[in-house]
A and B are shown apart, each in its own frame.
Chain A
Amino acid sequence: MADTLTGPVPEVPDAIPEFPMPRAARCPLDPPPALRDLQERAPLTKVRLRDGSEPWLVTRYADQRALLGDPRVSADTDSPGYPSKAGPEGGEGKLSFIMMDDPEHARLRRMVTAPFAVKRVEALRPAVQRIVDDLIDGLLAGPAPVDLVEEFALPVPSLVICELLGVPYDDHAFFQDNTRTMVHRDATPEQRGRAAREVAGYLSALIGRRIADPREDLLSGIAARVTAGEIDHGQATEMALLLLIAGHETTANMIALGTLALLRHPDQLALLRESDDPGLVTSAVEELLRYLHITHLGRRRAVTEDIEIGGRLLRAGEGVIMVNEVANRDPEVFPDPDRLDLTRDARRHVAFGFGVHQCLGQPLARMELQVVYGTLYRRIPTLSLACSPDDVRFKHDAFIYGVHSLPVAW
């Protein structure tokens, strides 16, 4: 190897790297090699986005947590310097409190925290177990191979959110059809837009019905805030839509990508299937959240006041991107980070982000994944990939990383 390559590594890379970076073709479950490289030698560095802007990229775990917990960063896409996610999929819509700052963010978030409390979510477990069992019954009764994404991974969160919001059973088919179109790989932008408007219109009408006639569900809780004059009907609809969208593709991709990861690690899959330690499913969920990290475009923020960190000065008006997937592979926190080890203690991962915007739905997401990972491979022990591993298509360009489809048989 040439001397220039083995000599001392420069602290700052010579050219500003482009972001996002490509994953290695052979390792679609690992973060892009360039991100790991930066984490090692330039943990706080500028990158160039598609729109030509140059925000900071933060790759180490400790720096990411410090910045995400810092009130001097803003999640508002209108703040000067906010790093735009706009790419091939088009612009980013603003949806309720996920793109707001405190105190308004906190005011709105607190209106919907109640149903996500750990014990409230636990009470939903039997309903989720029934949803998962029914879907598996359906798979086993039909012909194989099937696309696990279409027939299982997407329906699970869609039906669970119906349960949570209080969508009447008779409307489940309408709801599922439209939410499926909203995220479907073959849908045109027009079809997706129309489906999103259908769902928004439906949720708005249902909130109206719950204002008139409240029940014990989440939409009634949101409706009560409208009645009390704390938010208007439009804000209420947006909030319901945020809960639906934030929990849909994320959970679905964790199910499909998690299954693929386990199929690629048969020893770990066998451990999960055969262990009678109930704690193993719990730790498997945390480890897969750590290992996979599907929100691969990073947490994005704008700096609102100068911040000194890691020997750098982040100036007000600059953007900053924290890619949690590479923090979850930080060797300072997770020894041997590239090994999928369902028995490790991965609880400190940042797959749900960190700071005041940390995922509101995480207790629900955890419970859903515990039910899925704890059930699917036991009920279908011979589950296997029904295509060549090279033919699995990954969603490199999507907001949420995953697989387009996952043909499986048993």
Chain B
Amino acid sequence: MTRPMSGPTVELESDKCVASGQCVVAAMQVFDQDDDGIAILLDERPAPALLDDVREAVAVCPAAAIRLVER
């Protein structure tokens, strides 16, 4: 899978994160958790094939900490 030069960008506000882990379950290739369980972004510009998973993560995040900015 090649990494797109443009396309939607994922934004994560980690200070809002409550460590539910939902984003990791929804999109394992895009999100992980740090040593305290707080979400970290692995890939700001995910390949198109991953975007549905990212949208699911946005929908299930209980803290509204994730956004997918379509450009």
By a beta-carbon cutoff of 8 Å, the part of chain A in contact with chain B is: 68-69, 106, 109-110, 113-121, 347-348, 352-356, 358-360, 362-363, 366
The 3 closest A-B pairs by CB, nearest first: A113-B37, A113-B19, A358-B62
Q: State whether A116 touches B19 (Cβ < 8 A).
A: yes
Closest chain B residue to A102 by CB distance? B18
Q: State whether A69 touches B19 (Cβ < 8 A).
A: no
Offer 9 A-B interface pairs, CB within 8 angstroms, sorted by A: A69-B64, A110-B36, A113-B36, A113-B37, A118-B25, A119-B32, A352-B20, A354-B62, A356-B63
Residues of B within 8 A of A113 (CB): 18-19, 36-38
Beta-carbon contacts under 8 Å, B1-47 to A:
18-22, 24-26, 32-33, 35-38
Residues of B within 8 A of A69 (CB): 62-64
Q: State whether B18 touches A356 (Cβ < 8 A).
A: yes
Q: State whether B62 touches A356 (Cβ < 8 A).
A: yes
Minimum C-beta distance from B66 to chain A (A): 13
Q: State whether B37 touches A117 (Cβ < 8 A).
A: yes
Residues of A within 8 A of B38 (CB): 110, 113
- Cα(A119)–Cα(B33), bound, Å: 8
Closest chain A residue to B32 by CB distance? A119
Q: State whether A110 touches B63 (Cβ < 8 A).
A: no
8 new A-B contacts, CB < 8 A, other than A117-B24, A119-B32, A358-B63, are A113-B19, A114-B37, A118-B24, A118-B33, A121-B21, A352-B20, A355-B62, A366-B25
Number of interface residues of B (CB under 8 A): 20
Interface of B is mostly: loop
Residues of B within 8 A of A354 (CB): 62
B51 at the interface (CB under 8 A from A): no
Minimum C-beta distance from B8 to chain A (A): 20
Beta-carbon contacts under 8 Å, B42-68 to A:
56, 59-60, 62-64
Q: State whether B18 touches A106 (Cβ < 8 A).
A: yes
Minimum C-beta distance from A78 to chain B (A): 22
Residues of B within 8 A of A106 (CB): 18
Q: State whether B18 touches A358 (Cβ < 8 A).
A: yes
Residues of A within 8 A of B25 (CB): 118, 363, 366
Q: Which of A106, A117, A358 has the most CB of B within 10 A?
A: A117
- Cα(A121)–Cα(B20), bound, Å: 12
- Cα(A277)–Cα(B19), bound, Å: 29
Given A114-B36, A116-B37, A117-B37 in contact, is the A353-B21 Cβ separation under 8 Å?
Answer: no
Q: State whether B18 touches A109 (Cβ < 8 A).
A: yes
Q: Which of A113, A348, A353, A354 has the most CB of B within 10 A?
A: A113
Tell me which of A117, A118, A352, A355 contacts B63 (CB under 8 A).
A355
Q: State whether A358 touches B20 (Cβ < 8 A).
A: yes
Given A110-B36, A347-B26, A347-B56 in contact, is the A117-B62 Cβ separation under 8 Å?
Answer: no
Tell me which of B26, B56, B60, B62 contacts A353 (CB under 8 A).
B62
Tell me which of A110, A347, A355, A363 contacts B21 (CB under 8 A).
A363
Q: State whether A117 touches B59 (Cβ < 8 A).
A: no
Q: State whether A110 touches B62 (Cβ < 8 A).
A: no
Closest chain A residue to B18 by CB distance? A356
Minimum C-beta distance from A67 to chain B (A): 13
Minimum C-beta distance from A93 to chain B (A): 23
- Cα(A118)–Cα(B21), bound, Å: 6
Q: State whether B59 touches A348 (Cβ < 8 A).
A: yes
